[in-house]
Amino acid sequence: MTGAGHPTISRRALLRLSAVLPLAGGASLLQAKEPQITVPSFNTLTDEEEISFGRKVAAEFDAKLPLLGNRLLDDYVNNMVAKLGRASQRPNMDYQAKVINTAEVNAFSILGGHMYVYRGLLHFIQSEAELAAVLGHEIGHVVGHHSANKIMLNVRAKQLYDVVKKNVLLQNEVIRQVIEKLGGPLAILAMMKYQREAEFEADMLGFYEELRCNWNPDGFIEFFDRIGKMTGNPDMLRKLLSDHPPPADRAARIRHEMTEVQMPARLVETSLSFKAMKLGLSALPPLPPEKK
């Protein structure tokens, strides 16, 4: 809801009120153009089914990806993901993250709330607000049902819909077999290439998540600006740049949105936990060489 249904209360007053309310009550008030999500008819997964499906897909990813397995880094990222997830329009999803031990500057999420953060991203970001922007964007894909929509569209195309609906909540091997019929984890990862509007929508959802968590959404702009100016190893950013709209376009939309809301006076840029994460990161062995 916005202030439109309360003509006697100004939008600015509602924004001020949202700043002092707890997340559960204030989240719906702090809006200028926060996207309101609609789910296409071909995606009939309930939240419970999506969470169960996501856990099974995540198990296949975990077995294939070079996970770093560093508790300090995983716990740090997980705490941020949990906080941003609670501030989202789908706070009940199974939000959790793992760090992948490669130099790529990127992150991705899958249905149900699971996400993966590349170690290269943790090296690249310079503030906690930047990391919150990236994680908020990935949570935005979950909130927008983007991953679930892609997978369910492929499930229907391969005539696996009835099999999924009958088995997704069961503890058997059927969904793993469905994942194999979809092409396995790498094919599912390839499905996570979204249209421009889905990427912009995820940015805007992440913007409001970050703002409600009191991180400075200027982290989006700092991240996009540095990506746009970055020189050096292009392989580190190739997938991020190929899968997303131009960084300058994304930064422009965030800048505009920042003029549409009342920004709190004090917003978090970084924290002691962020600095501890960076110290732990610097103590790790060198990154493995990229496979050609």
- Is 138 buried (19+), middle (13-18) or exposed (0-12) by CB count in 10 A? buried
Residue 101 belongs to a domain? yes
- Over range 178-195, report the average pLDDT: 92
176 in Cβ contact with 124 (< 8 Å)? no
Residue 61 belongs to a domain? yes
Residue 286 belongs to a domain? no
Q: For 63-122, how does the pLDDT look when each residue is reduced to its tens digit (9 = 90+)?
A: 999 999 999 999 999 999 999 999 999 999 999 999 999 999 899 999 999 999 999 999
Q: Do the bridges between strand 107-109 and strand 114-118 make them parallel or antiparallel, or are there none, so unpaired?
A: antiparallel
104 bridge partner residues: none
Residue 270 belongs to a domain? no
Q: How many domains does the structure of the chain reveal?
A: 1
Q: What is the DSSP secondary structure assignment for residue 2, as one 8-state letter?
A: -
Q: What is the Cα–Cα distance from 76 to 97, expressed in whole angstroms? A: 10
Residue 279 belongs to a domain? no
Mean pLDDT of the chain: 86
154 in Cβ contact with 192 (< 8 Å)? no
Q: What is the CA radius of gyration of the chain?
A: 19
CA 72 to chain centre: 20
Q: For 213-265, how does the pLDDT look when each residue is reduced to its tens digit (9 = 90+)?
A: 999 999 999 999 988 876 555 565 666 666 678 888 899 999 999 999 888 88
Residue 208 belongs to a domain? yes
Can you give the pLDDT at residue 245?
81
4 falls in which pLDDT band (50, 70, 90)?
very low
Q: What is the Cα–Cα distance from 63 to 60, expressed in whole angstroms? A: 5
Can you give the pLDDT at residue 53?
98
More confident: 83 or 29: 83
What residue numbers bound the domain in which 122 lies? 41-262
Residue 169 belongs to a domain? yes
What 3-state DSSP class applies to 183? coil
Residue 30 belongs to a domain? no
SS3 sequence of 88-102: CCCCCCCCEEEEECC
